[in-house]
Structure 1
Amino acid sequence: MSRYFSAAEVDAGLDYPSLINTLSEAFRRRGEAMPLRQSYDVGTVASPGHLLTMPAWERGKALGVKLVTVFPENGASDLPAVSSLYVLFDGATGRPRAMIDGEALTNRRTAAASALASQYLSRPDSRTLLLIGTGRLASYLPAAHSVVRPIEAVLVWGRNAQRAQRLADTLEHQGLKAKPAADLTEALSVADIVSCATTSREPLIAGQHLRPGTHLDLVGAFTPEMRESDDDAVCRSRVFVDTYEGAFKEAGDLLRPIAAGRWEASMICGDLHQLTSGMKSGRHSQQEITLFKSVGAAIEDLAAANLLVRD
């Protein structure tokens, strides 16, 4: 008998230390290459909409698929533009095991993947986290990063100052020392880790303002048209990705400087499989700038769902 896991149950059932370790093992094993997400136009002229599918499987053990709908005009009716549901099946019988709130699962596994990358790429003494973005995903990132690094201060920057203040207050209630940042350039000058979770189509992070030793965690932009960093930020960094396949298809932060002739795909230093398996090394020095570009991978959803739905 399958059951439904609410957002609250997802948050309660997936503690970050366990989830980070689970994702590490999933990326280390890797297994079969998973299909990239597929998008289908399911809307009308009056109400445009898209259906996205993200399947993954571990033969004989588990399989699942995340279903995501994107209806941009929902804001006019005070409804969220994005809705999602994850369905987990038994890998041996094909029987459904669970339905899971897709947004909570996505936010939590995305934050955990960022923290996993940070273990290899940020400086071990990183204490100041700059959070760029004020949406739901942004609210998950500081707690995850705090599991792997001794974060003492969180600076929150957003285009809307009131939303930045509200998110900082929320993080304070979670036990994190947080405050809004009025000036992004000034905040970049003191940040050890910069975690960016937006859907921006124009660069927010200018490479010229990054100080040596910074780690960039770019998790928001997930289409070729979106980007959170400029060409200089990419060119100054040692760049890592969650998966090569996803990055080459969807990461505007990397595809745009490639198209401009400023950077090459061959300059990617590794992915999470190579980092977790020891095939590639992470940070080499205290002074270098590292960049992790995540667009999301179905293997993360499956690993998180399996951890949540324990027999």
Structure 2
Amino acid sequence: MIIVPEAVIADLITPEASFTAVERVFASMAARSAYNFPVIREAIGHADALYGFKSGFDRAALNLGLKSGGYWPGNAAKGLTNHQSTVFLFDADTGKCRAVVGGNLLTALRTAAAAAVSVAHLARPDAKVLGIVGAGHQAAFQLRAVAAQRPFEKIVAWNRSPEKLETLRGVADELGLGFESVSIEDLGGQADVIVTITSSHDAILHGAQVKPGTHVACMGTDTKGKREVDNDLIAAATLFTDEVAQSTTIGECQHAIVDLTIRPEDITELGAVINGDHKGRTSAEEITLFDGTGVGLQDLAVASAVVELAMSRGVATEVDF
């Protein structure tokens, strides 16, 4: 069995490699050569933690396994990341445990990569202004990954506590992009691409605030009850997702499904666009929305890439198991 600890992962995988791994997974899912198993996510009744499993199997890449982990809100006070996870990979031919991989940075990279893939395939080619809604741990990863997909000139950002946007301002400075802290209304009025990455349970961004031609990547909703945008925006947009089953039950589209604003068949897998089976954006005025719920196959793909890199560079540990 191969062990790749969290401490070495930052030196192994890049946002570009994460993008490639996630893009291939989406394509494999749409081709029905990969599928996710049902998600388990529970409040454990201790430390206010949410804990769960995401798992699946990609027959094309032979990636079989699971990510185990969740959210411990008190970790920051202990000097730890609130989100904690570990990826387990298994040999698809024998069932033996093949690798154990630290999953914290990988989760951030694959989530950012999913948004970036959606922008690469759905945003207008001439998009110039990128809007970021939220300023948590994941926001900087989103900014770096998405900014690479279009010739952006400016970042506009909103957060309930505006002072927390300074980290994003620093990233924008690194990238040579202008940065402005704005109201949510101004953000919707300026941005050609919007990434929402919050843990909100109430709609922050509304349909009336988003201009025609915008691409919206909703990346924060992954649990029943969460919500970042209202049903007016869902109804106005052409909808895409990583997996329809998750989008309609734990993703951004769950609320619009309940009140019959949309039906499951109104949502298209992003992999169908990647594979050429769906046109994706059809006009410069169309609003497109990607509901990024986060699927286990993404974790397996980036973890497998890390294992190969760790083995080739001699930083993996091999043990009998």
Question: TM-score with structure 1 length normalisation?
Answer: 0.89
Residue in structure 1 matched with residue 288 of structure 2 by the alignment = 290
Superposed displacement of residue 181, structure 1: 1.5
Q: Give distance in 2, aligned partners of 1:201 and 1:56.
A: 28
Query: What's the counterpart of residue 116 of structure 1?
Result: 117
With 202-211 and 24-33 compared, the bigger mean Cα shift is at 24-33
Q: Which residue of 1 aligns with 2:57?
A: 57
- 2:319 maps to what in 1? none
Q: Which moved more, 1:163-172 or 1:225-234?
A: 163-172
Who is 1:263 aligned against? 262
TM-aligned CA deviation for residue 114 of structure 1: 1.1
What is the CA RMSD across the aligned residues, in angstroms? 2.2
The offset of 1:80, in angstroms, is 4.4
- Equivalent residue, structure 1, for 2:277: 279
CA distance in 1, matches of 2:222, 2:176: 28
Q: 2-side partners of 1:264 and 1:245: how far apart?
A: 12
1: CA distance, partners of 2:149 / 2:105: 21
Please give the alpha-carbon distance, in whole angstroms, between the structure 1 residues aligned to 2:176 and 2:98: 36
- Number of residue pairs matched? 305
Asked whether the 8 Å contact 1:128–1:151 carries over to 2, the reply is yes
Instruction: Say if 2:99 and 2:307, in contact at 8 Å, map to a contact too.
Output: yes
Q: Which sections of structure 2, spanning at least 5 residues, go unmatched?
A: 312-321
| 1-structure distance, mates of 2:55, 2:265 | 28
Deviations, residues 28-47 of structure 1 (Å, cap 9, x unaligned) = 22324221221244334xx4
User: Within 5 A, what are the aligned runs for 1:109-148?
Assistant: 109-148=110-149
Structure 2 CA distance, aligned partners of 1:97 and 1:172? 41
Report % sequence identity: 26
Partner of 1:102: 103
- After superposition, the Cα gap between the structure-2 partners of 1:235 and 1:89, relative to the gap in structure 1 and judged at 3 Å, is same
In the superposition, the TM-score normalised over structure 2's length comes to: 0.87
Counterpart residue number, 2:21:
22
| Residue of structure 2 in register with 1:34 after alignment | 36
Aligned to 2:314: none
Structure 1: gaps (5+ residues): none
Q: Distance in 2 between matches of 1:236 and 1:102?
A: 36
Query: Matches of 2:23 and 2:171 in 1, distance apart?
Result: 28
Mapped contact 2:215–2:288 kept (Cα < 8 A): yes
1:66 is the counterpart of 2:64 = no
Q: Which has the higher relative contact order, 1 or 2, with Cα contacts under 8 A spaced 6 or more apart? A: 2
Q: Which residue of structure 2 aligns with residue 203 of structure 1?
A: 203
Q: Following the alignment from structure 1 to structure 2, what is the Cα–Cα distance between the partners of residues 178 and 66?
A: 37
Structure 1 residue 249 displacement after superposition? 1.7
Q: Which moved more, 1:179-188 or 1:90-99?
A: 90-99
Give, in angstroms, the shift of residue 95 of structure 1: 4.3
SS in structure 1 opposite 2:37?
coil
280-289 vs 99-108, which moves further = 99-108
Greater displacement, 10-19 / 298-307: 10-19
